[in-house]
Structure 1
Amino acid sequence: MSAIVIAVLVLAAAASGAVFKPGPWYENLRRPDWTPPNWAFPVVWSILYIAIGVSGWLVWQAQGFGLAMGLWLLQLVFNAAWSWLFFGRRRMDLAFVDVCALLLSILAYIAVAAQVSQMAALLFVPYALWVATAATLNRSVWRLNPEAARG
């Protein structure tokens, strides 16, 4: 797998967030006071996607396709699905299940990737922290807006 393939895969996952945007539906939802400002999301995600790509490349260079790369691909699938579920389908419940699966796949990747490349594993730590925050935010918004939870 070349660096170009890894970059395309990461960009494809990131595109989900560009296609399925918050919009008026989200803006009208009740959110907790600690919700990050809107400008923070594209900034943080841009940095995280770079780290995701570099991490995948490091593992690929060190080992090729194995369990770590399988987990790397799996987390990308969960990552891409979240925006579609939350903003596209307006299914906060399914999005919460997805973001929890995403966090578990990230943590599994960190554990497995650490055996292949310490740097690859470390690059995923901020991602895990951000996704844990996103999961908490997802659950909070869902609880604050039960009438909007199923679209």
Structure 2
Amino acid sequence: MDWPLFIIFLAACGAAATTGAVFQPGDWYKRLDKPVWTPPDWLFPVAWTFLYLALAFAAARVATIPGAHYALAFWAMQIAFNTLWTPIFFGLRRLGPALVVLGGLWVAVVGLLWALWPLDALAFWITVPYLVWVSYAGALNASIWLRNRHAVPA
């Protein structure tokens, strides 16, 4: 693996992660009606740390492989949608549009996995938990939106 490439991809993940520090959940989020299967707040940074490391690792493993152009394009697409979600959900408090962004993220992650499979099995398998997490996040976002769609963001 090319370690400088890993650092570059990790920096992109760090930029996306910064939105979580800038747009924190706060009291508004705590007051929302959420399903009982909402994870505790401490789990989010733990999960995202693992996922961002895995994403950077997977991208660095395949970046120099001939034919990796679709994998890298889907990687760029997913990190863009990933970066957009937090400011829309927590910053603008727009639960419906955030769900649309999450749908785009889900499609990008599926595309990334599709492109990784023929290139590198380890990169593929280390990225699978990301699809699981994004699917779970989509269900959670949808549930919160449905439970609170008539509430005025405060």
Give the TM-score band, short-chain normalised. over 0.9
Structure 1 residue aligned with 2:114: 111
Write out the 4+ residue segments of structure 1 that deviate beyond 4 Å after TM superposition.
none
Structure 2 residue 135 is matched with structure 1 residue 144: no
1:46 Cα deviation after fit: 0.7
Paired residue for 2:9, among 6, 11, 14?
6
Structure 2 residue 59 is matched with structure 1 residue 50: no
In 2, the alpha carbon distance for the partners of 1:95 and 1:64 equals 32
Count of matched residue positions in the alignment of Structure 1 and Structure 2: 151
Alignment map for 1:1-151 (pairs within 5 Å): 2-63=5-66, 66-148=69-151
1:65 Cα deviation after fit: 5.7
Amino acid at match of 1:31: K
Query: RMSD between aligned alpha carbons?
Result: 1.6
1:8 Cα deviation after fit: 1.2
1:78 Cα deviation after fit: 0.4
Paired-residue identity, %: 36
| Structure 1 unaligned residues grouped into runs of 5+ | none
Q: TM-score, normalised by structure 1?
A: 0.93
**Counterpart secondary structure, 2:64:** helix
In 2, the alpha carbon distance for the partners of 1:117 and 1:34 equals 34
In 1, the alpha carbon distance for the partners of 2:6 and 2:58 equals 11
| Deviation per residue, 1:19-53 (Å, 9 max, x gap) | 11111110110000111111111111111111011
In 2, the alpha carbon distance for the partners of 1:149 and 1:62 equals 49
1:146 Cα deviation after fit: 1.4
| Deviation per residue, 1:79-114 (Å, 9 max, x gap) | 011001100111101100011110111011101111
Name whichever of 87-96 and 62-71 sits farther off: 62-71
